[in-house]
A and B are shown apart, each in its own frame.
Chain A
Protein backbone atom coordinates (compact mmCIF):
# COMPACT_ATOMS: atom_id res chain seq x y z
CA UNK A 1 0.00 0.00 0.00
CA UNK A 2 1.19 3.51 -0.70
CA UNK A 3 2.50 5.32 2.32
CA UNK A 4 0.70 8.36 3.59
CA UNK A 5 2.97 11.12 4.84
CA UNK A 6 1.95 14.19 6.79
CA UNK A 7 3.38 17.13 4.93
CA UNK A 8 3.17 20.89 4.69
CA UNK A 9 1.83 22.14 1.35
CA UNK A 10 5.02 23.95 0.44
CA UNK A 11 7.18 20.91 1.15
CA UNK A 12 4.80 18.59 -0.65
CA UNK A 13 4.96 20.65 -3.83
CA UNK A 14 8.75 20.65 -3.61
CA UNK A 15 8.96 16.88 -3.15
CA UNK A 16 6.48 16.30 -5.97
CA UNK A 17 8.59 18.48 -8.25
CA UNK A 18 11.71 16.41 -7.56
CA UNK A 19 9.76 13.20 -8.21
CA UNK A 20 8.39 14.70 -11.42
CA UNK A 21 11.96 15.06 -12.65
CA UNK A 22 12.61 18.70 -11.81
CA UNK A 23 16.39 19.05 -11.49
CA UNK A 24 16.89 22.79 -11.26
CA UNK A 25 15.31 25.37 -9.01
CA UNK A 26 16.03 29.10 -8.95
CA UNK A 27 14.21 31.33 -6.50
CA UNK A 28 14.28 34.23 -4.10
CA UNK A 29 12.82 34.09 -0.60
CA UNK A 30 9.42 35.60 0.04
CA UNK A 31 6.82 34.61 2.60
CA UNK A 32 4.62 32.48 2.65
CA UNK A 33 6.39 29.98 0.39
CA UNK A 34 9.95 29.84 1.75
CA UNK A 35 9.65 26.18 2.72
CA UNK A 36 9.70 25.32 -0.99
CA UNK A 37 13.22 26.64 -1.49
CA UNK A 38 14.39 25.51 1.93
CA UNK A 39 13.27 21.97 1.11
CA UNK A 40 14.79 21.97 -2.35
CA UNK A 41 18.10 23.36 -1.07
CA UNK A 42 18.85 19.96 0.46
CA UNK A 43 16.64 17.72 -1.67
CA UNK A 44 17.84 18.69 -5.15
CA UNK A 45 21.56 18.02 -4.45
CA UNK A 46 20.53 14.52 -3.26
CA UNK A 47 19.38 13.70 -6.79
CA UNK A 48 22.22 15.49 -8.57
CA UNK A 49 20.14 18.58 -9.15
CA UNK A 50 20.82 22.27 -8.71
CA UNK A 51 19.38 24.66 -6.15
CA UNK A 52 20.43 28.27 -6.55
CA UNK A 53 19.18 31.23 -4.56
CA UNK A 54 19.09 34.11 -7.02
CA UNK A 55 19.74 37.78 -6.24
CA UNK A 56 16.16 38.69 -7.17
CA UNK A 57 13.00 37.27 -8.68
CA UNK A 58 13.97 38.99 -11.93
CA UNK A 59 17.20 37.00 -12.05
CA UNK A 60 15.53 33.81 -10.83
CA UNK A 61 13.00 33.67 -13.66
CA UNK A 62 15.70 34.33 -16.24
CA UNK A 63 17.82 31.54 -14.78
CA UNK A 64 14.71 29.40 -15.26
CA UNK A 65 14.58 30.63 -18.87
CA UNK A 66 18.22 29.61 -19.44
CA UNK A 67 17.82 26.18 -17.88
CA UNK A 68 14.51 25.57 -19.67
CA UNK A 69 16.24 26.38 -22.97
CA UNK A 70 18.53 23.37 -22.39
CA UNK A 71 15.49 21.09 -22.10
CA UNK A 72 15.83 20.50 -18.36
CA UNK A 73 12.84 20.34 -16.04
CA UNK A 74 13.09 23.50 -13.99
CA UNK A 75 10.93 25.49 -11.62
CA UNK A 76 10.70 28.55 -9.43
CA UNK A 77 8.29 29.65 -6.77
CA UNK A 78 7.29 32.93 -5.22
CA UNK A 79 4.36 34.93 -3.93
CA UNK A 80 2.47 38.01 -5.20
CA UNK A 81 5.08 40.79 -5.29
CA UNK A 82 7.77 38.35 -6.41
CA UNK A 83 5.57 36.96 -9.16
CA UNK A 84 5.03 40.54 -10.35
CA UNK A 85 8.79 40.88 -10.78
CA UNK A 86 8.86 37.67 -12.79
CA UNK A 87 6.39 38.85 -15.40
CA UNK A 88 9.08 40.06 -17.79
CA UNK A 89 10.70 36.64 -17.79
CA UNK A 90 7.39 34.81 -18.05
CA UNK A 91 6.48 36.81 -21.15
CA UNK A 92 9.86 35.83 -22.65
CA UNK A 93 9.48 32.17 -21.70
CA UNK A 94 6.01 32.12 -23.25
CA UNK A 95 7.35 33.83 -26.39
CA UNK A 96 10.29 31.43 -26.64
CA UNK A 97 7.85 28.54 -26.05
CA UNK A 98 9.80 26.95 -23.25
CA UNK A 99 8.41 24.66 -20.55
CA UNK A 100 8.75 25.56 -16.88
CA UNK A 101 6.73 25.50 -13.67
CA UNK A 102 6.09 28.49 -11.42
CA UNK A 103 4.42 28.13 -8.04
CA UNK A 104 2.62 31.18 -6.67
CA UNK A 105 1.62 30.84 -3.03
CA UNK A 106 -0.22 34.10 -3.23
CA UNK A 107 -0.65 36.64 -0.46
CA UNK A 108 -2.63 39.81 0.14
CA UNK A 109 -2.09 42.72 -2.26
CA UNK A 110 -1.82 45.12 -3.98
CA UNK A 111 1.66 46.44 -3.40
CA UNK A 112 3.68 44.59 -0.84
CA UNK A 113 0.34 43.88 0.86
CA UNK A 114 0.68 41.33 3.63
CA UNK A 115 1.53 37.67 4.06
CA UNK A 116 -2.00 36.35 4.59
CA UNK A 117 -3.61 34.08 1.99
CA UNK A 118 -5.48 35.82 -0.82
CA UNK A 119 -6.57 35.07 -4.38
CA UNK A 120 -6.11 38.50 -5.84
CA UNK A 121 -3.39 37.30 -8.25
CA UNK A 122 -6.07 35.62 -10.40
CA UNK A 123 -6.05 38.27 -13.13
CA UNK A 124 -2.28 38.33 -13.23
CA UNK A 125 -2.08 34.55 -13.49
CA UNK A 126 -4.79 33.85 -16.06
CA UNK A 127 -4.88 36.97 -18.22
CA UNK A 128 -1.21 37.11 -19.16
CA UNK A 129 0.44 39.16 -16.47
CA UNK A 130 3.31 40.39 -18.56
CA UNK A 131 3.19 42.21 -21.88
CA UNK A 132 1.95 40.63 -25.08
CA UNK A 133 -0.75 38.20 -26.19
CA UNK A 134 0.28 35.22 -24.14
CA UNK A 135 -1.20 32.99 -21.47
CA UNK A 136 0.11 30.72 -18.79
CA UNK A 137 -1.48 27.37 -18.08
CA UNK A 138 -2.85 27.91 -14.57
CA UNK A 139 -3.68 25.12 -12.13
CA UNK A 140 -5.49 25.71 -8.84
CA UNK A 141 -5.14 22.98 -6.21
CA UNK A 142 -7.32 23.01 -3.10
CA UNK A 143 -5.69 20.34 -0.94
CA UNK A 144 -2.12 19.33 -0.22
CA UNK A 145 -2.74 16.05 -2.06
CA UNK A 146 -3.94 17.96 -5.07
CA UNK A 147 -0.91 20.20 -4.81
CA UNK A 148 1.20 17.07 -5.26
CA UNK A 149 -0.88 15.63 -8.10
CA UNK A 150 -1.06 18.92 -9.95
CA UNK A 151 2.69 19.42 -9.66
CA UNK A 152 3.23 16.23 -11.67
CA UNK A 153 0.60 17.44 -14.10
CA UNK A 154 2.19 20.88 -14.32
CA UNK A 155 5.52 19.46 -15.53
CA UNK A 156 3.72 17.22 -18.00
CA UNK A 157 1.58 20.05 -19.41
CA UNK A 158 4.58 22.39 -19.58
CA UNK A 159 6.40 19.86 -21.77
CA UNK A 160 3.32 18.91 -23.78
CA UNK A 161 2.57 22.50 -24.74
CA UNK A 162 6.04 24.06 -24.37
CA UNK A 163 4.47 26.69 -22.19
CA UNK A 164 5.02 27.99 -18.66
CA UNK A 165 2.59 26.55 -16.10
CA UNK A 166 1.65 28.38 -12.93
CA UNK A 167 0.40 26.52 -9.89
CA UNK A 168 -1.73 29.12 -8.14
CA UNK A 169 -2.04 28.31 -4.47
CA UNK A 170 -2.12 30.66 -1.53
CA UNK A 171 -0.47 31.09 1.83
CA UNK A 172 -3.03 28.87 3.51
CA UNK A 173 -2.47 25.94 1.17
CA UNK A 174 1.30 26.35 1.38
CA UNK A 175 1.33 26.36 5.16
CA UNK A 176 -1.29 23.71 6.00
CA UNK A 177 -0.29 20.13 6.81
CA UNK A 178 -2.24 17.17 5.41
CA UNK A 179 -1.50 13.52 4.74
CA UNK A 180 -0.35 12.94 1.17
CA UNK A 181 0.51 10.00 -1.05
CA UNK A 182 3.07 10.37 -3.82
CA UNK A 183 1.58 8.46 -6.72
CA UNK A 184 3.53 8.94 -9.88
CA UNK A 185 0.89 9.29 -12.55
CA UNK A 186 1.28 7.87 -16.03
CA UNK A 187 1.04 10.40 -18.77
CA UNK A 188 1.04 9.81 -22.53
CA UNK A 189 4.55 9.99 -24.01
CA UNK A 190 5.92 13.44 -24.73
CA UNK A 191 7.63 14.51 -27.94
CA UNK A 192 11.45 14.64 -27.80
CA UNK A 193 12.99 17.97 -26.82
CA UNK A 194 14.79 18.30 -30.12
CA UNK A 195 14.53 22.08 -29.89
CA UNK A 196 16.74 22.30 -26.80
CA UNK A 197 19.96 24.29 -26.92
CA UNK A 198 22.76 22.05 -25.66
CA UNK A 199 25.74 23.00 -27.81
CA UNK A 200 25.48 21.98 -31.43
CA UNK A 201 27.67 18.87 -31.20
CA UNK A 202 27.95 17.43 -34.71
CA UNK A 203 24.59 18.74 -35.86
CA UNK A 204 23.31 22.10 -37.04
CA UNK A 205 23.09 24.86 -34.47
CA UNK A 206 19.88 25.83 -32.70
CA UNK A 207 18.76 29.06 -31.17
CA UNK A 208 16.00 30.12 -28.85
CA UNK A 209 14.91 33.73 -28.98
CA UNK A 210 11.96 35.70 -27.65
CA UNK A 211 11.93 38.37 -30.33
CA UNK A 212 10.97 38.61 -33.98
CA UNK A 213 11.55 42.00 -35.55
CA UNK A 214 9.47 41.09 -38.60
CA UNK A 215 5.79 41.91 -37.91
CA UNK A 216 4.61 38.99 -40.04
CA UNK A 217 6.89 36.62 -38.16
CA UNK A 218 5.73 37.90 -34.80
CA UNK A 219 2.10 37.66 -35.82
CA UNK A 220 2.73 34.07 -36.85
CA UNK A 221 4.14 33.31 -33.42
CA UNK A 222 1.11 34.89 -31.79
CA UNK A 223 -1.29 32.93 -33.96
CA UNK A 224 0.58 29.74 -33.13
CA UNK A 225 0.25 30.55 -29.43
CA UNK A 226 -3.49 31.09 -29.80
CA UNK A 227 -3.79 27.73 -31.55
CA UNK A 228 -2.01 26.14 -28.64
CA UNK A 229 -4.45 27.73 -26.18
CA UNK A 230 -7.40 26.39 -28.18
CA UNK A 231 -5.88 22.92 -28.14
CA UNK A 232 -5.48 23.23 -24.37
CA UNK A 233 -9.15 24.05 -24.10
CA UNK A 234 -10.04 20.97 -26.13
CA UNK A 235 -7.78 18.54 -24.32
CA UNK A 236 -6.77 19.69 -20.89
CA UNK A 237 -9.54 21.57 -19.12
CA UNK A 238 -10.20 20.29 -15.62
CA UNK A 239 -12.69 20.97 -12.84
CA UNK A 240 -14.33 19.20 -9.91
CA UNK A 241 -17.94 19.18 -8.76
CA UNK A 242 -19.48 18.19 -5.46
CA UNK A 243 -22.96 18.07 -3.97
CA UNK A 244 -26.49 17.96 -5.31
CA UNK A 245 -26.65 17.23 -9.08
CA UNK A 246 -29.82 19.42 -9.27
CA UNK A 247 -28.73 22.39 -7.17
CA UNK A 248 -30.78 25.44 -6.40
CA UNK A 249 -27.63 27.46 -5.93
CA UNK A 250 -24.38 26.60 -7.69
CA UNK A 251 -21.36 27.71 -5.70
CA UNK A 252 -18.23 28.49 -7.67
CA UNK A 253 -14.81 28.89 -6.08
CA UNK A 254 -11.21 27.78 -6.67
CA UNK A 255 -8.33 26.70 -4.48
CA UNK A 256 -8.70 27.30 -0.77
CA UNK A 257 -12.19 28.73 -1.28
CA UNK A 258 -13.10 25.45 -2.99
CA UNK A 259 -12.59 23.56 0.25
CA UNK A 260 -14.56 26.12 2.25
CA UNK A 261 -17.40 25.74 -0.25
CA UNK A 262 -17.41 21.95 0.21
CA UNK A 263 -18.21 22.58 3.85
CA UNK A 264 -20.91 25.04 2.80
CA UNK A 265 -22.50 22.38 0.59
CA UNK A 266 -22.41 19.81 3.42
CA UNK A 267 -23.74 22.23 6.05
CA UNK A 268 -26.42 23.42 3.62
CA UNK A 269 -27.57 19.85 3.04
CA UNK A 270 -28.08 19.45 6.77
CA UNK A 271 -30.39 22.45 6.60
CA UNK A 272 -32.28 21.05 3.64
CA UNK A 273 -30.67 23.24 0.97
CA UNK A 274 -29.86 21.90 -2.47
CA UNK A 275 -26.35 23.14 -3.19
CA UNK A 276 -23.51 22.13 -5.44
CA UNK A 277 -19.91 23.23 -5.82
CA UNK A 278 -18.22 23.82 -9.15
CA UNK A 279 -14.48 24.17 -8.68
CA UNK A 280 -12.31 25.04 -11.69
CA UNK A 281 -8.97 23.24 -11.47
CA UNK A 282 -7.55 24.73 -14.63
CA UNK A 283 -8.09 28.47 -14.29
CA UNK A 284 -6.60 28.85 -17.73
CA UNK A 285 -8.03 27.32 -19.80
CA UNK A 286 -11.22 28.09 -17.88
CA UNK A 287 -13.83 25.29 -17.88
CA UNK A 288 -16.45 27.46 -19.62
CA UNK A 289 -18.64 24.85 -21.20
CA UNK A 290 -18.91 22.59 -18.17
CA UNK A 291 -19.67 25.55 -15.95
CA UNK A 292 -22.37 26.76 -18.31
CA UNK A 293 -24.05 23.34 -18.25
CA UNK A 294 -23.99 23.25 -14.47
CA UNK A 295 -25.21 26.81 -14.15
CA UNK A 296 -28.23 26.09 -16.35
CA UNK A 297 -29.46 23.56 -13.81
CA UNK A 298 -29.40 26.08 -10.96
CA UNK A 299 -31.57 29.06 -10.04
CA UNK A 300 -28.54 31.13 -9.14
CA UNK A 301 -24.77 31.04 -9.22
CA UNK A 302 -22.76 32.35 -6.31
CA UNK A 303 -19.06 33.04 -6.87
CA UNK A 304 -16.93 33.19 -3.75
CA UNK A 305 -13.33 34.40 -3.91
CA UNK A 306 -10.60 35.73 -1.69
CA UNK A 307 -10.44 38.80 -3.91
CA UNK A 308 -13.01 41.36 -5.07
CA UNK A 309 -14.35 39.53 -8.11
CA UNK A 310 -11.62 38.47 -10.48
CA UNK A 311 -12.73 34.96 -11.49
CA UNK A 312 -16.25 36.38 -11.35
CA UNK A 313 -15.65 37.90 -14.78
CA UNK A 314 -14.84 34.52 -16.30
CA UNK A 315 -17.85 32.94 -14.62
CA UNK A 316 -20.13 35.67 -15.98
CA UNK A 317 -18.68 35.13 -19.45
CA UNK A 318 -19.37 31.41 -19.19
CA UNK A 319 -22.89 31.77 -17.80
CA UNK A 320 -23.74 34.44 -20.38
CA UNK A 321 -26.59 35.91 -18.42
CA UNK A 322 -28.65 32.70 -18.48
CA UNK A 323 -28.73 32.54 -14.69
CA UNK A 324 -28.16 35.38 -12.22
CA UNK A 325 -24.62 35.44 -10.86
CA UNK A 326 -23.90 36.76 -7.36
CA UNK A 327 -20.61 37.44 -5.69
CA UNK A 328 -19.22 37.25 -2.20
CA UNK A 329 -15.61 38.12 -1.65
CA UNK A 330 -13.02 39.15 0.86
CA UNK A 331 -9.59 40.46 0.18
CA UNK A 332 -6.43 41.53 1.97
CA UNK A 333 -6.05 38.15 3.62
CA UNK A 334 -9.55 37.87 5.12
CA UNK A 335 -10.93 34.36 4.68
CA UNK A 336 -14.68 33.91 4.09
CA UNK A 337 -16.37 31.64 6.64
CA UNK A 338 -18.81 28.80 6.08
CA UNK A 339 -21.44 30.55 8.25
CA UNK A 340 -21.18 33.78 6.32
CA UNK A 341 -21.52 32.05 2.96
CA UNK A 342 -24.48 29.98 4.14
CA UNK A 343 -26.22 33.08 5.39
CA UNK A 344 -25.69 34.71 2.02
CA UNK A 345 -27.14 31.65 0.27
CA UNK A 346 -30.18 31.65 2.56
CA UNK A 347 -30.78 35.33 1.91
CA UNK A 348 -30.59 34.67 -1.84
CA UNK A 349 -33.12 31.88 -1.60
CA UNK A 350 -35.44 33.89 0.66
CA UNK A 351 -35.49 36.68 -1.89
CA UNK A 352 -36.48 34.14 -4.51
CA UNK A 353 -33.25 34.90 -6.32
CA UNK A 354 -34.41 37.91 -8.26
CA UNK A 355 -31.80 40.15 -9.75
Chain B
Protein backbone atom coordinates (compact mmCIF):
# COMPACT_ATOMS: atom_id res chain seq x y z
CA UNK B 1 0.00 0.00 0.00
CA UNK B 2 1.25 3.45 -0.81
CA UNK B 3 1.76 5.82 2.13
CA UNK B 4 0.24 9.17 1.24
CA UNK B 5 0.40 10.93 4.57
CA UNK B 6 2.60 10.42 7.62
CA UNK B 7 4.17 12.17 10.55
CA UNK B 8 7.12 14.34 9.48
CA UNK B 9 10.41 12.77 10.58
CA UNK B 10 11.34 15.97 12.39
CA UNK B 11 8.19 15.93 14.51
CA UNK B 12 8.78 13.88 17.65
CA UNK B 13 6.21 11.27 18.66
CA UNK B 14 5.23 13.12 21.81
CA UNK B 15 1.57 14.29 21.71
CA UNK B 16 1.14 18.06 21.64
CA UNK B 17 0.25 19.57 25.01
CA UNK B 18 -1.52 22.64 23.59
CA UNK B 19 -5.19 23.41 24.30
CA UNK B 20 -7.83 21.97 21.96
CA UNK B 21 -8.23 24.22 18.93
CA UNK B 22 -4.84 25.92 19.38
CA UNK B 23 -2.84 26.22 16.15
CA UNK B 24 0.62 25.94 17.73
CA UNK B 25 0.58 22.25 16.89
CA UNK B 26 -0.35 22.90 13.25
CA UNK B 27 2.29 25.59 12.89
CA UNK B 28 5.00 23.39 14.37
CA UNK B 29 3.99 20.47 12.21
CA UNK B 30 4.34 22.64 9.10
CA UNK B 31 7.78 23.84 10.20
CA UNK B 32 8.80 20.20 10.75
CA UNK B 33 7.50 19.24 7.30
CA UNK B 34 9.47 21.99 5.62
CA UNK B 35 12.63 21.09 7.56
CA UNK B 36 12.19 17.52 6.31
CA UNK B 37 11.60 18.55 2.72
CA UNK B 38 14.62 20.85 2.69
CA UNK B 39 16.70 18.12 4.35
CA UNK B 40 18.17 20.52 6.92
CA UNK B 41 17.27 18.86 10.24
CA UNK B 42 20.91 17.96 10.95
CA UNK B 43 22.09 21.54 10.67
CA UNK B 44 19.12 23.46 12.05
CA UNK B 45 19.06 25.11 15.48
CA UNK B 46 15.80 26.41 16.91
CA UNK B 47 15.48 29.13 19.52
CA UNK B 48 12.49 29.00 21.84
CA UNK B 49 10.86 31.92 23.61
CA UNK B 50 8.78 32.22 26.77
CA UNK B 51 5.04 31.68 26.55
CA UNK B 52 3.01 28.74 25.27
CA UNK B 53 5.38 28.47 22.33
CA UNK B 54 8.30 27.58 24.63
CA UNK B 55 7.32 23.93 24.39
CA UNK B 56 8.38 23.77 20.74
CA UNK B 57 11.69 22.23 21.84
CA UNK B 58 9.77 19.23 23.10
CA UNK B 59 8.18 18.55 19.72
CA UNK B 60 10.60 19.39 16.93
CA UNK B 61 13.58 17.11 16.56
CA UNK B 62 16.40 19.62 16.06
CA UNK B 63 18.89 21.22 18.44
CA UNK B 64 17.31 23.93 20.57
CA UNK B 65 18.22 26.83 22.82
CA UNK B 66 15.62 28.48 25.03
CA UNK B 67 16.24 31.84 26.66
CA UNK B 68 14.42 34.60 28.47
CA UNK B 69 11.31 36.56 27.50
CA UNK B 70 11.68 38.29 24.14
CA UNK B 71 15.41 37.63 23.70
CA UNK B 72 15.23 34.81 21.16
CA UNK B 73 16.35 37.03 18.23
CA UNK B 74 19.49 38.08 20.13
CA UNK B 75 20.20 34.47 21.09
CA UNK B 76 19.66 33.42 17.48
CA UNK B 77 22.12 36.13 16.43
CA UNK B 78 24.76 34.73 18.79
CA UNK B 79 24.24 31.22 17.43
CA UNK B 80 24.23 32.28 13.78
CA UNK B 81 27.36 34.42 14.17
CA UNK B 82 29.15 31.52 15.84
CA UNK B 83 27.94 28.97 13.27
CA UNK B 84 27.16 30.82 10.03
CA UNK B 85 26.49 27.66 8.01
CA UNK B 86 23.68 26.45 10.25
CA UNK B 87 19.99 27.23 9.73
CA UNK B 88 18.75 29.17 12.73
CA UNK B 89 15.13 30.00 13.50
CA UNK B 90 13.22 31.51 16.39
CA UNK B 91 9.63 30.69 17.26
CA UNK B 92 7.89 33.37 19.29
CA UNK B 93 4.45 34.43 20.44
CA UNK B 94 3.11 37.96 20.05
CA UNK B 95 3.75 38.96 23.66
CA UNK B 96 7.32 37.77 23.33
CA UNK B 97 8.17 39.23 19.94
CA UNK B 98 5.98 42.35 19.79
CA UNK B 99 6.16 43.57 23.40
CA UNK B 100 9.14 42.65 25.55
CA UNK B 101 11.34 41.64 22.61
CA UNK B 102 10.47 44.38 20.12
CA UNK B 103 13.93 45.93 20.22
CA UNK B 104 15.63 42.61 19.54
CA UNK B 105 13.43 41.66 16.56
CA UNK B 106 13.63 45.10 14.95
CA UNK B 107 17.41 45.13 15.13
CA UNK B 108 17.76 41.56 13.93
CA UNK B 109 15.63 42.49 10.92
CA UNK B 110 17.46 45.73 10.35
CA UNK B 111 20.89 44.07 10.51
CA UNK B 112 19.69 41.60 7.91
CA UNK B 113 20.65 38.82 10.29
CA UNK B 114 20.43 35.52 8.41
CA UNK B 115 17.82 33.95 10.64
CA UNK B 116 14.14 33.11 10.25
CA UNK B 117 11.56 34.12 12.84
CA UNK B 118 8.16 32.49 13.24
CA UNK B 119 5.75 34.82 14.95
CA UNK B 120 2.58 33.24 16.27
CA UNK B 121 0.01 36.01 16.64
CA UNK B 122 -3.06 35.16 18.70
CA UNK B 123 -3.86 38.70 19.83
CA UNK B 124 -3.46 37.84 23.50
CA UNK B 125 -0.93 36.72 26.12
CA UNK B 126 -1.56 32.97 26.22
CA UNK B 127 0.52 31.39 28.93
CA UNK B 128 0.09 34.11 31.54
CA UNK B 129 -3.68 33.75 31.32
CA UNK B 130 -5.09 36.06 28.67
CA UNK B 131 -3.88 39.61 29.24
CA UNK B 132 -3.74 42.25 26.51
CA UNK B 133 -1.01 41.82 23.92
CA UNK B 134 0.30 44.56 21.60
CA UNK B 135 -1.69 42.72 18.90
CA UNK B 136 -5.00 42.70 20.81
CA UNK B 137 -7.68 44.16 18.53
CA UNK B 138 -9.59 47.34 19.29
CA UNK B 139 -12.61 46.41 21.36
CA UNK B 140 -11.24 42.95 22.18
CA UNK B 141 -11.81 41.92 25.79
CA UNK B 142 -8.88 40.45 27.68
CA UNK B 143 -8.01 40.03 31.36
CA UNK B 144 -6.41 43.48 31.40
CA UNK B 145 -8.86 45.13 29.01
CA UNK B 146 -12.07 43.90 30.64
CA UNK B 147 -14.10 46.54 28.80
CA UNK B 148 -12.32 45.97 25.52
CA UNK B 149 -9.15 47.55 24.12
CA UNK B 150 -9.55 51.30 23.75
CA UNK B 151 -6.96 52.99 21.53
CA UNK B 152 -7.04 56.19 23.59
CA UNK B 153 -6.04 54.20 26.69
CA UNK B 154 -4.17 51.16 25.40
CA UNK B 155 -2.86 52.29 22.07
CA UNK B 156 -3.35 50.53 18.76
CA UNK B 157 -2.86 46.91 17.75
CA UNK B 158 0.71 46.55 16.51
CA UNK B 159 1.37 45.34 12.97
CA UNK B 160 4.86 43.98 13.48
CA UNK B 161 5.13 42.38 10.04
CA UNK B 162 4.52 45.72 8.28
CA UNK B 163 6.90 47.44 10.67
CA UNK B 164 9.69 44.97 9.95
CA UNK B 165 9.18 45.07 6.21
CA UNK B 166 10.48 48.64 6.06
CA UNK B 167 13.77 47.53 7.63
CA UNK B 168 16.48 47.48 4.98
CA UNK B 169 17.84 44.13 6.16
CA UNK B 170 14.59 42.17 6.02
CA UNK B 171 14.21 40.11 2.85
CA UNK B 172 11.07 38.07 3.30
CA UNK B 173 8.05 38.88 5.45
CA UNK B 174 4.74 37.03 5.12
CA UNK B 175 1.55 36.72 7.11
CA UNK B 176 -0.45 33.49 7.03
CA UNK B 177 -3.35 31.81 8.76
CA UNK B 178 -4.12 28.13 9.26
CA UNK B 179 -7.91 28.21 9.37
CA UNK B 180 -8.56 26.60 5.94
CA UNK B 181 -6.81 23.95 3.86
CA UNK B 182 -5.77 26.47 1.19
CA UNK B 183 -4.40 28.81 3.87
CA UNK B 184 -2.39 25.90 5.29
CA UNK B 185 -0.93 25.15 1.87
CA UNK B 186 -0.01 28.82 1.44
CA UNK B 187 1.45 28.94 4.94
CA UNK B 188 3.69 25.98 4.23
CA UNK B 189 4.94 27.61 1.03
CA UNK B 190 5.71 30.82 2.97
CA UNK B 191 7.59 28.86 5.65
CA UNK B 192 9.59 27.18 2.89
CA UNK B 193 10.38 30.50 1.22
CA UNK B 194 11.41 32.00 4.56
CA UNK B 195 13.90 29.20 5.20
CA UNK B 196 15.17 29.47 1.62
CA UNK B 197 15.65 33.22 2.05
CA UNK B 198 18.00 32.42 4.92
CA UNK B 199 19.77 29.56 3.15
CA UNK B 200 20.30 31.73 0.06
CA UNK B 201 21.66 34.48 2.36
CA UNK B 202 19.21 37.13 1.17
CA UNK B 203 18.52 38.58 4.60
CA UNK B 204 16.21 38.31 7.55
CA UNK B 205 12.92 36.42 7.10
CA UNK B 206 9.76 36.25 9.18
CA UNK B 207 6.46 34.43 8.88
CA UNK B 208 3.64 35.74 11.03
CA UNK B 209 1.11 33.03 11.74
CA UNK B 210 -2.36 34.17 12.86
CA UNK B 211 -3.52 31.65 15.39
CA UNK B 212 -6.53 31.25 17.67
CA UNK B 213 -6.32 31.00 21.44
CA UNK B 214 -9.72 29.48 22.23
CA UNK B 215 -8.83 29.16 25.90
CA UNK B 216 -8.16 32.84 26.50
CA UNK B 217 -10.65 34.10 23.96
CA UNK B 218 -13.32 32.11 25.84
CA UNK B 219 -14.55 30.41 22.68
CA UNK B 220 -14.95 26.94 21.26
CA UNK B 221 -12.32 25.95 18.68
CA UNK B 222 -14.83 26.50 15.87
CA UNK B 223 -15.94 29.92 17.19
CA UNK B 224 -12.29 30.90 17.55
CA UNK B 225 -11.53 30.04 13.92
CA UNK B 226 -14.51 32.10 12.79
CA UNK B 227 -13.54 35.02 15.03
CA UNK B 228 -9.97 34.93 13.66
CA UNK B 229 -11.25 35.09 10.08
CA UNK B 230 -13.81 37.78 10.80
CA UNK B 231 -11.74 40.05 13.02
CA UNK B 232 -8.04 39.33 12.80
CA UNK B 233 -7.56 38.88 9.07
CA UNK B 234 -9.13 42.26 8.17
CA UNK B 235 -6.68 44.05 10.51
CA UNK B 236 -3.73 41.74 9.83
CA UNK B 237 -4.07 41.07 6.09
CA UNK B 238 -2.60 37.81 4.79
CA UNK B 239 0.03 37.58 2.10
CA UNK B 240 3.65 38.30 1.36
CA UNK B 241 4.50 41.72 2.74
CA UNK B 242 8.04 41.81 1.44
CA UNK B 243 10.07 39.74 -0.97
CA UNK B 244 13.59 40.88 -1.70
CA UNK B 245 15.67 39.02 -4.21
CA UNK B 246 19.20 40.01 -3.30
CA UNK B 247 21.49 40.61 -0.38
CA UNK B 248 20.37 43.68 1.55
CA UNK B 249 23.64 45.56 1.10
CA UNK B 250 23.56 44.89 -2.65
CA UNK B 251 20.29 46.77 -2.91
CA UNK B 252 21.95 49.96 -1.70
Contacts and interface: CB of A to CB of B under 8 A. Distances in A.
Given A59-B104, A66-B47, A209 B65 contact: yes
B83 interface: yes
Contacts of A50: 81-82
Nearest to A207: B64
A70 B81 CA distance: 10
B65 A198 contact: no
A206 B79 CA distance: 14
Interface string B47-89: 1101000100100011111111001001111111111001100
A208 B65 contact: yes
A211 interface: yes
Interface centre among A54, A92, A202, A205 (most CB of B within 10 A): A205
Nearest to A199: B43
A52 B77 contact: yes
B64 A205 contact: yes
Contact of A70 (B50, B64, B79): B79
A205 B81 contact: no
Contacts of B44: 199
Interface in A176-214: 197-202, 205-211
A55 B57 contact: no
Contacts of B201: none
A63 interface: yes
A69 interface: yes
B57 A198 contact: no
B113 to A, nearest CB: 10
Contacts of A64: 78
Interface residue tally on A, bucketed by range:
35 or more
Contacts of B67: 62, 65-66, 89, 92, 210
Contacts of B68: 62, 88-89, 92, 210
B81 A199 contact: no
Given A59-B104, A199-B42, A66 B48 contact: no
A199 B77 contact: no
A151 to B, nearest CB: 20
B41 interface: yes
B103 interface: yes
Given A66-B79, A209-B57, A59 B107 contact: yes
Contacts of A54: 74, 107
Given A56-B103, A70-B83, A62 B78 contact: yes
A150 interface: no
Contact of B79 (A52, A67, A88, A207): A67
Residue with the greatest number of chain A CB neighbours at <10 A, chosen from B47, B54, B68, B82 = B82
Given A197-B45, A199-B43, A199-B45, A208 B66 contact: yes
A249 interface: no
B41 A69 contact: no
A207 B83 contact: no
A62 B75 contact: yes
Contact of B81 (A52, A58, A62, A198): A52
A212 to B, nearest CB: 11
Q: Which of A62, A65, A68, A206 has the most CB of B within 10 A?
A: A62
A211 B53 CA distance: 14
A74 B78 contact: yes
Nearest to A56: B103
Interface of A: 23-24, 26, 50, 52, 54-56, 58-60, 62-70, 72, 74, 88-89, 92, 197-202, 205-211
Interface of B: 41-45, 47-48, 50, 54, 57, 61-68, 71, 74-83, 86-87, 103-104, 107
24 contacts: A55-B107, A62-B67, A62-B104, A66-B65, A66-B67, A66-B76, A66-B80, A67-B79, A67-B81, A68-B78, A69-B79, A74-B78, A88-B68, A197-B63, A197-B65, A198-B45, A199-B83, A200-B42, A207-B66, A208-B65, A209-B64, A211-B50, A211-B54, A211-B66
